[in-house]
Amino acid sequence: MSTVDQTSKIPNNVDLHHDKRLQRALEQWQPNYLQWWMEMGPTDFQAKDVYLRTAISVDAEGWAHFDWVKMPDYRWGIFLADPVADRKIGFGDHKGQPAWQVVPGEHRNVLRRLIVTQGDTEPASVEQQRLLGHTAPSLYDLRNLFQVNVEEGRHLWAMVYLLHSQFGRDGREEAEELLQRRSGNPDKPRILGAFNAPVDNWLDFYMFTMFTDRDGKYQLLALAESGFDPLSRTTRFMLTEEAHHMFVGETGVERIVQRTAELMKQDKNEDVRNQGGVPLDMIQRYLNLWFALSLDLFGGEVSSNAASFFADGLKGRYKEDSYEDHTALEQHYKMTVPKDGTLVEEDVPLRNAMNEVLRDAYVDDCQRGVDRWNKRLAEAGISTRLRLPSKRFYRHIGLYADMPFDAEGKLLSQEEWQRRKGEWLPAADDRAYVATLQKPVHEPGKIANWIARPARGIKGLPFEYEYVRLD
Ligand code: BYC
């Protein structure tokens, strides 16, 4: 088990003090990071004590150490999962060769791009969520928001460590640029679509952490298979932190659904709007939006980039071990492809279909979450069910990009789409209504009217605990 150096400026388990050049470079980046955090991190709560978990080692006991922390004092550091002895590349054309400990020259540019794309999402999400603290439905939720935010900050550190340690001057420049781009800024936007969409209310936030963070899980799982061992080790450790982010989203939506069901039962017309709840059809529209935005993050269905990532051993499949064949040269993957105004089934060579293979594993995982929400509805005696829209709905990347499919996946005319899109996507009046619900509840033990209390608090503490000290 590697030990974590907690005493140095940058906590780490990579023996940073043995590499003075790297240590100096990262120590120079650190104040720029902190400046970014103060400018673009959660507004107005930086001086408050928050009950946060911090990693102090990478083992089961140490990775989740809870304590009172002011966010700017959070110990952002560099933590890699412990190395696997004699690790070999597990797939693609180099299968069976020793995993690379140093970035291979021939894959340098591609790896840098993958790492920058991954890294860019982390600060982007913090920027998207920076105002949410002002409208948190409870102190428990406020604390969870800040937990997610500081860990996304740490995930940026994880990628910046790789850029600084393996990519020389180019890597240092990329690390600076990660602090320069801004979510939603038309002049210097974040790289991927969903990370430029606003997250300015808690329904968007829970949908984001349910669906977009879950893309993060699958992308990290694919990168954890990488033959580039430092990338594999850093993403493996990130995955331990990621689980909580999806928990926040999945249980957040679940608690809204639960409260909506309660309020429906209290009204003879099952109307929840007049009682300050979120109607199920509105929840469905936000679900549709964030599912579609998150599907785009997997890239095109047919992708020569994805084929090369796999061939070169850089990015594998979810649970690559569970496959018998790791070359993916002979097989095909079935896809539904739009052609001349209809949809036809086509067999796509498996390597070119890797984005879709990962996306399909993700869709199954999302379905499991939706099933859980529907269970709450069934228990409450409500017959309406939530559903994932078709994978073709509202896509902007890939085979179905910008084509007018409805939520069932049926191709409409542009005219019908324009007329009916408000049935499937949040419209201005939905947004205006959700905005009216965004009022802070900062008293310990209290919760906003539109969401149910969580089943339990954090780390065995009750919901009533003062998770953020605001005075
Ligand atoms: N938006 O062959 P294609 C997370 C570009 S989330 C804009 O289809 P490829 C987190 C693409 O770059 C996980 N552009 O795609 C969650 C390419 O450009 P070039 C983040 C897009 O390359 C919550 C062109 O279109 N991690 O961690 O196979 C909170 C054609 O590309 C998009 C990663 O993304 C898009 N949606 O795959 C915090 C993993 N999609 O090369 C954090 C690293 C595609 O022609 N990234 N393009 O200029 C990757 O693995 C791949 O870059 C992608 C794209 C899967 C994103």
Out of 226, 295, 397, 402, give the residue to mutate to test ligand 1, the one with the largest number of ligand atoms within 8 Å of its CB: 397
Q: Residue 62: which pLDDT band, with cuts at 50, 70 and 90?
A: low
Residue 4 is predicted with a pLDDT of 77
**pLDDT 10s digits, 431-450:** 999 999 999 999 999 999 99
Tokens of 316: 């594998």
- Cβ of 305 closer than 6 Å to ligand 1, yes or no, is yes
Which residue in this structure is represented by tokens 């003879």? 268
Question: How does the average pLDDT of the chain come out, rounded?
Answer: 96
Nearest CA to ligand 1 atom 37: 299
What gap in Å lies between CA 231 and CA 432, rounded to an integer? Answer: 43
Residue 65 is predicted with a pLDDT of 84
Residue 54 is predicted with a pLDDT of 85
> Which of 377, 207, 156 has the alpha carbon at shortest distance from 280?
377
Residue 1 is predicted with a pLDDT of 58
Q: Which of 4-8, 38-42, 83-87, 297-301 has the lowest mean pLDDT?
A: 4-8
- Residue 257 vs residue 55, higher pLDDT: 257
Q: Is the pLDDT of residue 366 over 80?
A: yes
- Cβ of 149 closer than 6 Å to ligand 1, yes or no, is no
Query: Strands 332-339, 65-70: parallel, antiparallel or unpaired by DSSP?
Result: unpaired
Out of 305, 315, 348, 352, give the residue to mutate to test ligand 1, the one with the largest number of ligand atoms within 8 Å of its CB: 305
Nearest CA to ligand 1 atom 9: 299
Phi, psi of 344 (to 5 degrees): -125, 150
Cα–Cα–Cα angle for 104, 109, 110, nearest 5°?
90
Tokens of 35: 């400046």
The atom number, within ligand 1, closest to the CA of 354 reads: 28
CA dist list (Å): 233 to 11, 226, 327: 17, 9, 22
79's CB contacts (< 8 A; 6+ apart) are: 4, 11, 12, 13, 55, 58, 63, 154, 158, 234, 237
Residue 276 is predicted with a pLDDT of 97
Single pTM value for the model: 0.96
The per-residue b/e assignment along 441-464, b for 16 or more CB within 10 angstroms, e otherwise, is bbebeebbebbbbbeebbeeeebe
> Which of 202, 241, 224, 229 has the alpha carbon at shortest distance from 63?
241
Q: Is the pLDDT of residue 396 over 80?
A: yes
- Count how many residues are written for the chain: 471
Residue 55 is predicted with a pLDDT of 77
236's CB contacts (< 8 A; 6+ apart) are: 80, 81, 224
Burial class (CB in 10 A: 0-12, 13-18, 19+), 440: middle
Distance 255 CA to ligand 1 centre (A): 31
Out of 192, 248, 295, give the residue to mutate to test ligand 1, the one with the largest number of ligand atoms within 8 Å of its CB: 192
Distance 105 CA to ligand 1 centre (A): 22
Residue 67 is predicted with a pLDDT of 92
Out of 154, 156, 218, 219, give the residue to mutate to test ligand 1, the one with the largest number of ligand atoms within 8 Å of its CB: 219
The predicted model gives 100-116 an average pLDDT of 98
Q: Is the pLDDT of residue 229 over 90?
A: yes
The predicted model gives 57-72 an average pLDDT of 82
What gap in Å lies between CA 427 and CA 291, rounded to an integer? Answer: 16
The predicted model gives 246-269 an average pLDDT of 97
CA dist list (Å): 276 to 31, 224, 225, 451: 44, 44, 46, 10
Tokens of 65: 């150490």
List own/partner pairs for 167-176 with CB under 8 A and 24 or more apart: 167/103, 167/108, 167/112, 167/115, 170/112, 171/112, 172/25, 172/29, 174/112, 174/115, 174/116, 174/119, 175/29, 176/29, 176/32
Residue 460 is predicted with a pLDDT of 92
Residue 64 is predicted with a pLDDT of 75
Amino acid, single-letter form, for residue 425: L
What gap in Å lies between CA 450 and CA 429, rounded to an integer? Answer: 17
Share of the chain above pLDDT 90, in %: 94
**pLDDT 10s digits, 305-362:** 999 999 999 999 999 999 999 999 999 999 999 999 899 999 999 999 999 999 999 9
> Which of 289, 277, 233, 232 has the alpha carbon at shortest distance from 452?
277
- Cβ of 192 closer than 6 Å to ligand 1, yes or no, is yes
- Cβ of 448 closer than 6 Å to ligand 1, yes or no, is no
The atom number, within ligand 1, closest to the CA of 194 reads: 36
The atom number, within ligand 1, closest to the CA of 298 reads: 55
Residue 317 is predicted with a pLDDT of 96
What gap in Å lies between CA 430 and CA 422, rounded to an integer? Answer: 9
Tokens of 426: 């949040």
The atom number, within ligand 1, closest to the CA of 300 reads: 8
Share of the chain above pLDDT 70, in %: 98
The atom number, within ligand 1, closest to the CA of 297 reads: 36
Nearest CA to ligand 1 atom 50: 114
CA dist list (Å): 360 to 35, 301, 349, 378: 39, 10, 16, 26
Contact 400, 386 (CB under 8 A): no
Which residue in this structure is represented by tokens 């799982």? 221
